[in-house]
Structure formats: C-alpha cells, structure tokens
Amino acid sequence: MLVVTNTIKVKEGHGETLAQRFGGAGGVQDMPGFVRMEVWHSAAKEGVEELKICTVWENEEAFKGWTASPSFRESHRGAGGNEAILGASLDKYELLISRTPGE
C-alpha cells in the first residue's frame, strides 16, 4: 500500500474553492490500483492556507500509471497558472502498520 500526499499552499480565502476541483467526476477514482483520496484543509496561518491531498494506491506501479495517464494531464492542465497557489510538495509513504478499532 502506498500513500501519496500533495501539500498545496494557497493564499488565504482560496483553500475551499481549490479543494472542490478534487471532487469532480472522472479522473483518479477510475484508475486501476486507486484505493481512495482524501482532501484535508488547514485554517489560514499568516495569510496562507494548506490543502493536503492524500491518495492511497495498491502499489507504486498504480501511482505511476496515474501520473502517466491522459486523465492526470487533463486534471492538472492550467494548475500552474493559478495565482492563488503559492507552492506544492509531493511525498510518498509505504504503509507499514495499520490498526482498526478493536484490534
């Protein structure tokens, strides 16, 4: 299992609007090996909000398949020209331990 986080810093007041882009039909949820996506939002600090987009994949190959797909290119088209975005970073984590209630 692989978790990929994309942390996006945006100008205050733009976080929730940008987050809506991740809820549309088509795209990542239709990819083989995709497990789930969560979009997290933090309150503004010093004029900056943060979105953390967490995607869970069956494996690294499934994630690479997404980044090489036409759907990926389409969903990211124009993102570089969004003046509300101040920066972004991508991190990957391999799941080592998972617990559920009652275990």
Q: For 28-35, what is the mean pLDDT?
A: 94
Judge whether residue 31 has pLDDT over 90: yes
Contact 19, 41 (CB under 8 A): yes
Q: For 13-38, what is the mean pLDDT?
A: 90
Q: Is residue 99 in a domain?
A: no
- Counted domains in the chain: 1
Beta strands 34-45 and 2-11, pairing class: unpaired
List the domain range (segments joined by +) for residue 71.
2-94
> Residue 28 to residues 31, 72, 95: CA-CA distances in angstroms?
5, 7, 20
Contact 10, 84 (CB under 8 A): yes
Q: Is residue 103 in a domain?
A: no
pTM of the model: 0.86
* DSSP H helical ranges for the chain: 15-19, 60-67, 70-76
Q: CATH number, domain at 90?
A: 3.30.70.100
Q: Is residue 100 in a domain?
A: no
Q: Is residue 22 in a domain?
A: yes
User: What pLDDT is stored for residue 57 in this prediction?
Assistant: 97
Interval 36-89: pLDDT, tens: 999 999 999 999 999 999 999 999 999 999 999 998 888 777 555 678 899 999
Q: Is residue 102 in a domain?
A: no
